[in-house]
């Protein structure tokens, strides 16, 4: 095993059939069956003569076929009954775990990563992501011998035939307003949302134009989706649509564009939803949970409306932990992971997009008008590759960060962190103007590259 932790910010990721093999997927499934098959609920189930149950799903990348087969085999060999939901969004899997009252679930997806990569995300009972301590226990069990059942005690693998329909009905039931009369362009990233998202927007009353909805196993996130939003902006303008919604490969993110093709990020979406929920008495404690990556403009806009902004570490599971710990109802990330606790246990890009467009319908306003609630501070993000991200605490690097922070004062900020999902260091600088932000970001990135270069 590698000295680095197996689990990153969002599950286990790697090059499919490289670092992430069928053997690893099978072993990980067996270790998960042991760890998540423990506790009072497991004892009660065994006393009733029932087996553990798990829901699995995947995005459409080609390697998901053999990896999900390996996960199913590992679970069934461990005595777990498997419900295979096929290709559906990650948040759909999370919902279905709770809806089926399954013991846990496994999603095979690398989200916004390119097609050669893949990943394994594990959800506990109720469809919630695992805390670090549970992931560490699963990792320890990988190296242990496992007592596997035989005969009639092995698990069964069944097709979860109505998985998509259950999720669609759930989404429609959350809407505060229908979307009649609104023309939406959807970019499904050639990913897991290709079947679900267009259908639910149509069922909600919208006129729908679709791009990025022809997955072939190799084209997921390839020039489409939330990581390539320029294509969506062009399509919205070309079709004269009212709004564009972009998902990533597994549809746990949502970004948007206005009728003029101007990008609206996760911070702006959260600002719109927070103001709406506060107005309707649905924003618990008048508080929004964001991350350290969120724009200063979000803090300023929320402060002006009497909404507190709590800050969590990057990763929607850390946002959710903060929300659950204090009973908050809305949180998310600038990248487009938005969690609406009343309706979902994780970031849900389809749900978010529906509620954003529903807010346009409810208020009778364009997305540009709604997004004007927040002024975005210039923010420059530089991804520094080919460096040792484990050494971000380097003395010279940190001294440079402090110097830039002192120069910016109250008019900006600096964030430097190792990526939890990719081999790189992220350098982010906000400032009162674009030129200042870019100058400091480029300068700091050069220091990172010089000091941490491999």
**Token pair for 326:** 């204090």
Q: What is the mean pLDDT of residues 367-392?
A: 93
Looking at the fold, whether 189 and 330 belong to one and the same domain comes out as yes
> In terms of domains, do 109 and 151 share one?
yes
240-255 per-position pLDDT tens digit: 999 999 999 999 999 9
Of 270, 205, 263, 271, which Cα lies nearest the Cα of 237? 263
Q: 5 in a domain, yes or no? A: no
The answer, yes or no, to whether residue 34 has pLDDT greater than 50, is yes
Q: How far apart are CA 247 and CA 229, in angstroms?
A: 9
Q: Is residue 167 part of a domain?
A: no
- Is residue 2 part of the annotated active site? The answer reads no
* Domain membership flag for residue 2: no
Q: How far apart are CA 283 and CA 139, in angstroms?
A: 37
Residue 420 pLDDT > 80, yes or no? no
Provide the sign of the torsion angle of the four alpha carbons 123, 129, 134, 135, taken in this order.
positive
The mean per-residue pLDDT over the stretch 59-63 comes to 98
Distance from chain centroid for Cα 173: 22
Q: Give the strand pairing for 424-430 and 379-385.
A: antiparallel
Band the pLDDT of 419: cuts 50, 70, 90.
Answer: confident
Return the pLDDT at 274: 98
Asked, for residue 224, whether it belongs to a domain, the answer is: yes
Question: Torsions phi, psi of 2, nearest 5?
Answer: -70, 150
The helix (run of H) or strand (run of E) holding residue 15 is strand 12-15
Q: How far apart are CA 7 and CA 14, in angstroms?
A: 10
Among 355, 371, 387, residue at a domain's last position: 371
Tell whether 187 and 322 lie within a shared domain: yes
User: Do both 209 and 320 map to the same domain?
Assistant: yes
CATH of residue 432: 3.30.310.50
| 43 & 155 share domain | yes
Check whether 252 is labelled as a binding-site residue: yes
Domain boundary among 330, 352, 371: 371
In this structure, the answer to whether residues 79 and 187 fall within a common structural domain is no
Is residue 206 within 8 Å of residue 240, measured between CB atoms?
Answer: no
Residue whose C-alpha is closest to residue 368's, from 276, 454, 244:
244
What is the C-alpha separation between 370 and 268, in angstroms, rounded?
A: 9
4: pLDDT confidence band, cut at 50, 70 and 90?
confident
Q: What is the CATH number of the domain that holds 158?
A: 3.40.120.10
Q: How confident is the model at residue 43 (pLDDT cuts 50, 70, 90)?
A: low
Taking 80 as the threshold, does the pLDDT of residue 49 lie above it? no
- Residue range 326-355, pLDDT digits in tens: 999 999 999 999 999 999 999 999 999 999
- Domain of 331 in residue numbering reads as 173-371
Residue 168 lies in a domain: no
> 160 versus 318: which is more confidently predicted?
160
- Looking at the fold, whether 139 and 212 belong to one and the same domain comes out as no
Whether residues 67 and 87 fall in one domain: yes
Q: Measured between alpha carbons, how far apart are the two ends of the chain, in Å? A: 22
Lowest mean pLDDT among 164-173, 262-271, 310-319: 310-319
d(CA 103, CA 96): 11
The number of folded domains in the chain is: 3
Check whether residue 123 and residue 193 sit in a common domain.
no
The answer to whether residues 307 and 234 belong to one domain is yes
Q: 250 labelled as ligand-binding? A: yes
Q: Which of 371, 389, 418 is the last residue of a domain?
A: 371
Does residue 386 share a domain with residue 362? Answer: no
Same-domain check for residues 211 and 135: no
Q: Is the pLDDT of residue 324 over 60?
A: yes
The per-residue DSSP string of 360-375 comes to HHHHT--HHHHHTTSP
Q: Name the active-site residue from 63, 111, 226, 294.
A: 111
Residues near 291 by Cβ (< 8 Å), separated by ≥ 6? 311, 312, 313, 314, 315, 318, 319, 333, 334
Read off the pLDDT band of 1 (50, 70, 90): very low
> For residue 41, what pLDDT is reported?
61
3-state secondary structure of 336: coil
Inter-residue contact 424 to 383 (CB < 8 Å): yes
Residues whose CB is less than 8 angstroms from the CB of residue 17 and which lie 6 or more positions away in sequence, other chains included? 63
- SS3 of residue 408 by DSSP: helix
Q: Check pLDDT > 50 for residue 2.
A: no
Give me the chain's average pLDDT, please.
Answer: 94
- 3 lies in some domain: no
């Amino acid at each position: 095993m590698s000295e680095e932790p197996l689990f990153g910010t969002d599950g286990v990721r790697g090059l499919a059939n490289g670092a992430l093999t069928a053997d690893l997927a099978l072993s990980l499934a067996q270790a998960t069956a042991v760890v998540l098959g423990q506790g009072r609920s497991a004892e009660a189930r065994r006393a009733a003569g029932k087996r553990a149950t798990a829901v699995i799903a995947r995005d459409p990348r080609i390697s998901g076929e053999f990896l999900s087969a390996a996960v199913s085999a590992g679970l069934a060999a461990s005595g777990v009954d498997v419900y295979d939901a096929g290709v559906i969004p990650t948040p759909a899997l999370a919902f279905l775990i709770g809806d089926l009252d399954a013991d846990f679930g496994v999603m095979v997806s690398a989200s916004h990563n390119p097609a050669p990569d893949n990943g394994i995300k594990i959800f506990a009972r109720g469809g919630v992501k695992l805390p670090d301590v549970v992931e560490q226990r699963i990792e320890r069990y990988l190296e242990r011998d496992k007592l596997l059942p035989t005969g009639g005690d092995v698990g069964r693998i069944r097709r979860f035939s109505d998985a998509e329909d259950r999720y669609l009905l759930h989404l429609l039931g959350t809407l505060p307003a229908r979307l009649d009369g609104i023309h939406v362009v959807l970019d499904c990233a050639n990913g897991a949302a290709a079947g679900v998202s267009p259908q639910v927007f149509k069922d909600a009353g919208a006129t729908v134009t679709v791009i990025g909805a022809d997955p072939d196993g190799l084209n997921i996130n390839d020039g489409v989706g939330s990581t390539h939003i320029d294509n969506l902006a062009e399509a919205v303008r070309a079709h004269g649509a009212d709004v564009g919604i972009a998902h990533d490969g597994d549809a746990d993110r949502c970004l948007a564009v206005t009728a003029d093709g101007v990008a609206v990020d996760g911070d702006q979406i959260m600002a719109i939803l927070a103001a709406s929920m506060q107005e309707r008495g649905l924003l618990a404690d008048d508080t929004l949970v964001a991350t350290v990556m969120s724009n200063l403009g979000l803090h300023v806009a929320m402060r002006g409306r009497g909404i507190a902004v709590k800050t969590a570490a990057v990763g929607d599971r850390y946002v959710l932990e903060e929300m659950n710990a204090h009973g908050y109802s809305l949180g998310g990330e600038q990248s487009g992971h938005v969690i609406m606790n009343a309706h979902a246990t994780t970031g849900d890009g389809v749900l978010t997009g529906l509620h954003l467009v529903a807010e346009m319908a409810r208020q009778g306003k364009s997305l540009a008008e709604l997004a004007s609630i927040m002024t975005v501070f210039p923010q420059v993000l530089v991804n520094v590759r080919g460096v040792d991200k484990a050494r971000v605490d380097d003395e010279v690097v940190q001294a440079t960060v402090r110097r830039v922070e002192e120069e910016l004062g109250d008019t900006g900020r600096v964030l430097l962190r190792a990526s939890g999902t990719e081999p790189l260091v992220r350098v982010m600088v906000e400032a009162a103007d674009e030129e200042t932000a870019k100058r400091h970001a480029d300068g700091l990135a050069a220091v990172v590259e010089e000091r941490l270069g491999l």
